[in-house]
Amino acid sequence: MKCVVAAVATAVLLGVSGTSALAVGESVSINIVDAPRPTPKWGYAPATRSIAPGTWVTWSNAGQDGHTVTAVDGSFDSGNLDPSEGFSWYFDQSGTFQYVCTLHPWMSGTILVGEPSGDPSAVSGQPSASSDQQPPNEQDQPSPEPGG
């Protein structure tokens, strides 16, 4: 399965489509992160990604352990991905696609497929299980407008 998806992705990205109905769309990447972080901080980075229909998403196992990218609804499944392996999926329908690592069920992510919003908050850059960054303190927040 991994080989077939990778071969199709490679062929499409190289423009070898012939009479195929596959479209060359945008592509985005998501990293799978684990050690040396504590186990509860393992996850997908970004954990939530908003994309337009017709986008390829590639997950890359940047960790030291095996992981999966498995849709909760069963629509896609990477199988086991060893370190440095990847998996790509083409999203052509609008919707919300939640996925997990079946080997580490606390790791989860979401792909939101819809029209581009231009909203920078559409990407959550934190791994899905936890955040490495401290929340901003009030000194970092813009001052409210007077009278507002």
CATH of the domain at 113: 2.60.40.420
Q: What is the spatial distance between Cα 8 and Cα 65, in angstroms, rounded to a whole number?
A: 26
Model confidence, pTM? 0.65
Classify residue 144 by its DSSP letter.
P
pLDDT score of 122? 46
**11 within domain boundaries:** yes
Q: Quick one: pLDDT band at residue 35, thresholds 50, 70, 90?
A: confident
pLDDT score of 135? 32
**141 within domain boundaries:** no
Q: Which two tokens stand for residue 40?
A: 């509860």
The total number of structural domains that make up the chain: 1
Q: Note the Cα 117 to chain centre separation in Å.
A: 17
**57 within domain boundaries:** yes
Residue holding tokens 């392996």? 85
Strands 104-113 and 48-51: parallel
Tell me: the pLDDT tens digits for 47-97? 999 999 999 999 999 999 999 999 999 999 999 999 999 999 999 999 999
